Amino acid sequence: MIDEPSSADDGRQGIQSIEVGTPLLKALAEHGGPMMLRDLAATTDMPAAKAHRYLVSFMRTGLVTQDAVSGRYDLGPFALEIGLASLARLDAVRIATPLIKDLNERIEETVALAVWGNMGPTIVRWVESRRPVTVNLRTGAVMPLLRSATGLCFAAFHAVSAVQECIAADLALQPRGKDGRKPGNRAELDAMLTEIRSHGLARTEGAVIPGVNAFSVPVFDHRNAMVLAITALGPSELFPISWSGPLAKAMRECAREASRRLGWRPAPGHRGQKPIGS
């Protein structure tokens, strides 16, 4: 079989047979387990005989393997090597930065990226809104864990012991102060975190800065572990915090795309599955 050159939309030539056969690899990756030839053919809308020829070539390169007993096909050792090499090159902040710039233009609000640092939720990227917002927060700022949308997002989705230690320390200080805002105790916090997880993002209304509302949504990596928070904020009269509103929807979509680029895939029972996909 002779490989015919193909011309993509960008004007560059490629090898058509590679482009035709790649959907078989994608189908195996998305299925999550071995597949029969007929199922692969149906999934890719390809005649079984044609699919078989491509699979034979993929097996010769190590991209695909076939079980000798069941006859099912699966991704091979070379596919695993490629995947691991790709994951080793991922930089979550670098990947998410252009996405928050797009989000900033889409919602016309200030957007930030935060990671879990030594002192807690820490802002590492900041894209200003064109509209002036009085916010004394910049790159390097550490957000309150139980008072900010960013902090609550980490409290709800970041499963590391350091988060739980900080939560316990913050709650221990609550009875000593005069701040009547929730959460004031573990029961109130647990109720808040349950609500946040059910909606897939955290929100606050004038909690850190009076008159400024915020949403924060988690970004997951290939291990289904939270690695970033994407936070947006704006003046309360222009930043409605409805769980189902367009702002919340735009943020979930942004986080889902960032997570997808980091290798995240929804897994049954994982708490990040429903929120990101909703």
Which pLDDT does position 31 carry in this prediction? 79
- Contact between 112 and 127 under an 8 Å Cβ cutoff? The reply is yes
Model pLDDT, residue 111: 94
Q: Where are the domains of the chain?
A: 5-88, 92-277
For residues 278 and 69, what is the distance between their CA atoms, to the nearest angstrom? 39
Q: Which two tokens stand for residue 80?
A: 């695993």
Instruction: Let me know if 190 is exposed, middle or buried by CB neighbors in 10 A (0-12, 13-18, 19+).
Output: exposed
| Fold match between domain 5-88 and domain 92-277 | no
Q: What is the pLDDT of residues 211-249, one digit of tens each?
A: 899 999 999 998 899 999 999 999 988 899 999 999 999
Instruction: Say whether 234 sits in a helix, a strand or coil.
Output: strand
User: Has residue 118 got a pLDDT over 80?
Assistant: no
User: Residue 277 — pLDDT band, cuts 50, 70, 90?
Assistant: very low
- 202, two tokens: 């955290």
Contact (Cβ atoms closer than 8 angstroms) between residue 203 and residue 214: yes
As a CATH number, domain 92-277 is 3.30.450.40
Which fold does the domain 5-88 belong to in CATH? Arc Repressor Mutant, subunit A (1.10.10)
SS3 152: helix
Structure confidence at residue 85 as a pLDDT band (50, 70, 90): confident
Type of residue found at 224: N
* pTM metric for this prediction: 0.69
> Distance from CA of residue 193 to its chain's centroid?
19
Neighbours of 176 (CB within 10 A): 7
- The 10s digit of each residue's pLDDT in 9-31 is 555 667 788 888 899 998 998 87
Q: Is-contact 94 101, C-beta < 8 A?
A: no
- Phi and psi at 276, nearest 5°, equal -70, -35
